[in-house]
């Protein structure tokens, strides 16, 4: 093999390694909420956000809430922004339990719900849950 050929093989190899690196970054980027949340969602809390991608007003809970009726997001409590039927993303920073999130008040039947394991998060919610959550429980 001449040196020119070796050079182009090497260049092709470098290009494919760079491509692999770009793909790897593209896959990893959108998932983790850690950097955006660190100042708001802290260990042992579940954090509820008004908008997708952990944006907008937020509320954090260390306990259960069986109905969000009349609740406001923590970050705007004095201007009375409703928490009920407004949550669009969630970060569970629990260290022991996950949380179950309900469309209606806890105890209603039927009541669509989903579970987020401890340390889990959802940057967006499906249409069934987006802007419809009314309660959550740990466990």
- Which positions lie near Ca ion, rule CB under 5 A? 85-86, 88, 103, 131-132, 134
User: What are phi and psi for residue 34, nearest 5 degrees?
Assistant: -55, -50
CB of 134 to Ca ion, least distance (A): 3
Q: Measured between alpha carbons, how far is residue 133 from residues 6, 13, 106, 107, 121 in Å?
A: 61, 50, 10, 14, 15
Nearest distance in Å: CB 120, Ca ion: 19
User: Of 76 and 103, which CB lies nearer to Ca ion in the complex structure?
Assistant: 103
Token pair belonging to 46 = 């579940």
In the complex, least distance from residue 22 CB atom to Ca ion, rounded to whole angstroms? 32
- What phi and psi values does residue 49 have, to the nearest 5 degrees? -120, 145
Name which of 71 and 86 has its Cβ closer to Ca ion.
86
Strands (E), the chain: 46-51, 55-61, 89-92, 99-102, 113-116, 121-122, 135-138
- Shortest approach of Ca ion to residue 8 CB, angstroms? 53
Residue 38 vs 131, nearer CB to Ca ion: 131
Residue whose CB is less far from Ca ion, 16 or 53: 53
């Amino acid at each position: 093999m001449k040196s020119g050929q070796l050079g182009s093989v090497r260049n092709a190899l470098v290009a494919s390694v760079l491509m692999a690196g770009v793909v790897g970054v593209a896959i990893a980027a959108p998932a983790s909420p850690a950097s955006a949340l660190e100042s708001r969602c802290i260990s042992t809390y579940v954090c509820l956000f008004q908008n997708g991608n952990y944006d907008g007003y937020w509320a954090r809970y260390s306990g259960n809430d069986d109905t969000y009726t009349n609740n406001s997001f923590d970050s705007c409590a004095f201007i009375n922004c409703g928490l009920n039927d407004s949550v669009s993303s969630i970060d569970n920073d629990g260290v022991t339990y996950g949380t179950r999130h309900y469309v209606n008040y806890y105890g209603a039947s039927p009541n669509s719900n989903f579970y987020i394991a401890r340390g889990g998060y959802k940057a967006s919610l499906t249409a069934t849950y987006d802007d419809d959550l009314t309660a959550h429980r740990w466990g």
